Chains A and B, each alone.
Chain A
C-alpha cells in the first residue's frame, strides 16, 4: 500500500463520497448538518452526480479516519453508502502548487 502523505506531520486526510436517502421536506440538509457537525469533518459539499455529499475528513491516522467512517458516518440513518479516498499526495491546493524536493541532478561543483 502506498504510504499516505499526511497534510501535516500529524494528520491524514480523506475525501468521502456519501450517498444519502433524502428526507421528506428537508432533502439533504438535516443529514448534512449532522455530518458536518462532527469536528473531524473539515468540509462538506452537496454535489450533483453519482453521489450526494463530498465530505473531507481529517484524522491522526488512517485508522482514526476509518473508525470515524465505520462508527459514525456509515452507521448514520439515511446514509446508504460511503466510499473513502485517502489523500496520498498534494500537488496543488487553493491555487498553490506544492513541489516536492527533487534529488539534485547537477554536479556539486562546476565553473
Chain B
C-alpha cells in the first residue's frame, strides 16, 4: 500500500529500510536543489546568487590569522570562546548601545550564526512548542525549529507592507505553546529592515505574550536608510532576546565561521551546554582574526557598506527601469524583485534566465511559498557584473 510523505511516494518496505531518522527524513526537501546543481555545473555564469560578500577579508585581519598560526595557536579554546574575544564583543556592544553583557556568562562564540540558531532552538524548545517565523525567511529557520522538535508557524508578509511582519500578525498567532519569534533583520532575502518605532511595536506584543525573540542581526552593519536598532536595546527586552550576530557579512569573513550569541545567562548557558558536546569550540584561527576585526576593521566595514549602497541604488533603479518591480531594500545586500511581468514561476524564471542568458539568481520560492513571484538578487558582485547582468535580464524579458 503506497504512503505519501513529504511529497514522495514510497512503500512500507521502503520505510522499514530507512536508515535516517524520521525527523530528518521529514525535513522538507529543497525544491530548488536541482536548480542549484544546475548553476554549480555551469561555467561563465554571471552569478547574482551568492549569499556572501564579494570582498576578501581585510588584509590586516587575514594577517592576524596568519600570525596566530605562525605563533602556534592551533589548539582548542575555552568552550565559550576566547575570553578576550568575548570581552571585546561586550565592550563593543557597551560602547555602541550602552547595554552590558557579562562576557563570562552571557556571551558564547559559535561557528557562525548558523550554529547559534540551532543552539538557540535546541536550548529553548520542548517537543511540540512553536516558534513564529515571518515569511520570507532565511532557509535555515524552519529546519532548525523542526530539528529541535518544535513547530514553525510562518507569518506571511508581502511587498505591500515592505515584507515586514506586523505586531497584529504576531498578536494573533501568539498563544499557548508559542515560545517566541525568530526573525532576521535586515532580512535575507528581502533586505527589509525595521525602524526603532516598528521594533518597539513588535516588542510590546512580545512582552504582552511573554515571548522570546531570537534575533538574527548578522546584517546589522549593512543598514542604509536609518540606524539599525538591536532588539535587546529596547526597554525590558534585554532578558527576553537571544541576540545572534557574527563576522561573516559585515567583515567579509564567511570562511572564518565565527558568530556569537548574547543573551540571558540561563539561555546562553543552555546553549553552551549543547555547544560543548557538539562543537567543543569555534576554530581558534577565526577567533583570533575576529578579535582583530572587532578592534581595527571599522573603517573597512564602512568602506564596504558604501560600495554596497552604491550598488543597491543602481540595481534597484535598473530593475525597475526594465520592468521588474523592485522595492528598495533597507539593508543586507539583496534585492527582491517581482517576476510577475514574465508570467513565470520564480523557479522557471531563474532556470530559463540561467540557460538562455547565463545569469544566476535564487528563486524566491526557496524562502517561502509567499515568494513565488519574486527572485533574490545578490548585489555582492562587482558593479560591472551587475550592469552586464541587468542587460542580459532585459534581453531575456524582451524575448518573452
**A4 to B51, alpha carbons, bound, how many Å?**
37
Which of B45, B50, B188, B360 has the most A CB atoms < 10 Å from its CB? B50
- B39 near A106 with CB under 8 A, answer no
Given A106-B50, A106-B52, A106-B54, A111:B360 Cβ within 8 A: no
Q: Which residues of B contact A111 (CB under 8 A)?
A: 51, 138-140, 188, 362, 366
B45 touches A108 (CB 8 A): yes
Are B47 and A108 closer than 8 Å at their CB atoms?
A: yes
Check B36–A109 contact: CB distance below 8 A: yes
Residue A8 at the chain B interface, CB threshold 8 Å: no
Residues of B within 8 A of A104 (CB): 47
Could you tell me the distance between the alpha carbons of A102 and B55 in the complex, rounded to whole angstroms?
11
Q: In the complex, A104 Cα to B140 Cα: how many Å?
A: 25
Interface of B is mostly: loop
- Whole-angstrom CA separation of A110 from B139 in the bound complex: 11
Are the C-beta atoms of B360 and A108 separated by less than 8 Å?
yes
Q: Which residues of B contact A108 (CB under 8 A)?
A: 39-40, 42, 45, 47, 49-50, 360
Chain B minimum-CB-distance residue to A105: B56
CB neighbours (8 Å) of A102 from chain B are: 56
| Interchain CA distance A43-B50 in the complex, whole Å | 46
A9 interface residue (CB < 8 Å to B): no
CA of A108 to CA of B36, assembled, Å: 9
B346-378 contact mask (Cβ, 8 Å, vs A): 1 or 0: 000000000000001010001000000000000
- A106 → chain B closest CB, angstroms: 5
Most A-side CB within 10 Å, residue of B47, B54, B138, B140: B47
The number of chain A residues touching the other chain, given as a range, is: under 10
For B138, the closest partner residue in chain A by CB is A111
Task: State A110–B50 Cα separation when bound (angstroms).
Answer: 5
A107 contacts chain B at the CB level, 8 A cutoff: yes
Please indicate the chain A residues that have their CB under 8 angstroms from the CB of B42 in the complex: 108
Contact between chains at B188 and A109 (CB < 8 Å): no
Cα distance, A106 to B36, chains bound together (Å): 14
Residues in A neighbouring B47, C-beta threshold 8 A: 104, 108-109
Q: Look across to chain A and name the residue whose beta carbon is closest to the beta carbon of B45.
A: A108
Number of interface residues of B (CB under 8 A): 19
The residue in chain B whose Cβ has the minimal distance to the Cβ of A106 is B50
- Say whether chain A's binding surface is mostly helix, strand, loop, or mixed: loop
Q: How far is the CA of A52 from the CA of B31 in the complex (A)?
A: 71
* Cβ–Cβ < 8 Å partners of B50 in chain A: 106-110
Scan A78-111; emit 1 where CB is below 8 A from any B CB, else 0.
Answer: 0000000000000000000000001010111111
Q: List chain B residues, Cβ under 8 A from A106.
A: 50, 52, 54
* Chain A residues positioned under 8 Å from B49 (CB to CB): 108-110
B54 proximity list for chain A (CB < 8 A): 106
In the complex the two chains form, what is the Cα distance from A104 to B45 in whole Å? 11
Chain A residues contacting B139 (CB-CB under 8 Å) are 111
Distance in angstroms between the alpha carbons of A102 and B56 in the assembled complex: 10
The smallest beta-carbon distance between B25 and chain A, in angstroms, is 22
Return A100 CB to nearest CB of chain B, in Å. 13
Interface mask (B191-207 → A, CB under 8 Å = 1, otherwise 0): 00000000000000000
Kindly provide the distance from the CB of B86 to the nearest chain A CB, expressed in whole angstroms: 28
A110 touches B45 (CB 8 A): no
Q: Is the CB of B52 within 8 A of A110?
A: yes
Contacts of B140 in A (CB 8 A): 111
Q: How far is the CB of B215 from chain A (nearest CB, A)?
A: 19
Would A109 and B360 count as touching, CB distance under 8 A?
yes
Give Cα A104–Cα B52 distance, bound, in whole angstroms: 12
Bound state CA distance, A104 and B43, in angstroms?
Answer: 11
Q: How far is the CA of A107 from the CA of B47 in the complex (A)?
A: 9
Name which of A102, A104, A107, A108 has the most chain B CB atoms within 10 A of its CB: A108
User: Distance in Å from the Cβ of B148 to the closest Cβ of chain A?
Assistant: 19
Q: Which residues of chain A are within 8 angstroms of B360 by Cβ–Cβ distance?
A: 108-109
Minimum CB–CB distance from B138 to chain A (whole Å) comes to 7
In the assembled complex, the Cα of A11 lies from the Cα of B19 at a distance in Å of 66
Q: Which residues of A contact B188 (CB under 8 A)?
A: 111
Residues of B within 8 A of A (CB): 36, 39-40, 42, 45, 47, 49-52, 54, 56, 138-140, 188, 360, 362, 366
Enumerate 27 A-B pairs (CB-CB under 8 Å) in ascending A order: A104-B47, A106-B50, A106-B52, A107-B50, A108-B39, A108-B40, A108-B42, A108-B45, A108-B49, A108-B50, A109-B36, A109-B39, A109-B40, A109-B47, A109-B49, A109-B50, A109-B362, A110-B50, A110-B51, A110-B52, A111-B51, A111-B138, A111-B139, A111-B140, A111-B188, A111-B362, A111-B366
Using a CB–CB cutoff of 8 Å, the interface residues on chain A facing chain B are 102, 104, 106-111
Task: Please name the 9 residue pairs, one residue from A and one from B, whose CB atoms are nearest each other, closest first.
Answer: A109-B49, A108-B47, A109-B39, A110-B51, A111-B139, A111-B51, A108-B39, A106-B50, A109-B36
